[in-house]
Each structure stands twice: as structure tokens, then as C-alpha cells.
Amino acid sequence: MTVFLVAVALICTIGISRIYLGVHFPTDVLFGWCAGSVWSFACWLTFRRFLPPSV
């Protein structure tokens, strides 16, 4: 769980810094977060089918 929280904090910090530095619009960062979430969920669903069932 710690790795997950560190990853989320890093993702949020990078996104906010991109807006702060003027490199991206807030909508760009928001769409990136949404697209990344959808992609991660799709990968999780796909790979879950190939993992052995938990005991």
C-alpha cells in the first residue's frame, strides 16, 4: 500500500508542477490522469485473467 500511495503522490506532484510551470493546461493534465487511470484499469483487468486464483 505504501508503494501505491507514493506513486499517487508522485503523479499528482508532477501533474501540478506541469500546470505551475505553464507547460500544460489544467485540462491536459486532467485528461492525462483520466487516460492513465483507464489504461491502468484495463491492464489490471487483462492481467488478472492470467494470474492463478488466490487460495
Predicted model pTM: 0.77
Question: What is the grid cell recorded at 37?
Answer: 487511470
Q: What is the pLDDT of residues 24-55, one digit of tens each?
A: 999 999 999 999 999 999 999 999 888 887 76
Residue 11 CB coordination number (10 Å): 15
Give the phi and the psi of residue 25 in degrees, each rounded to 5: -80, 155
Q: Which helix (H) or strand (E) holds 1?
A: none
Establish how many alpha carbons lie within 13 A of residue 50's alpha carbon, considering only the half-sphere containing its beta carbon: 4
Cβ-proximal residues to 33 (8 Å cutoff; 6+ apart), any chain: 11, 15
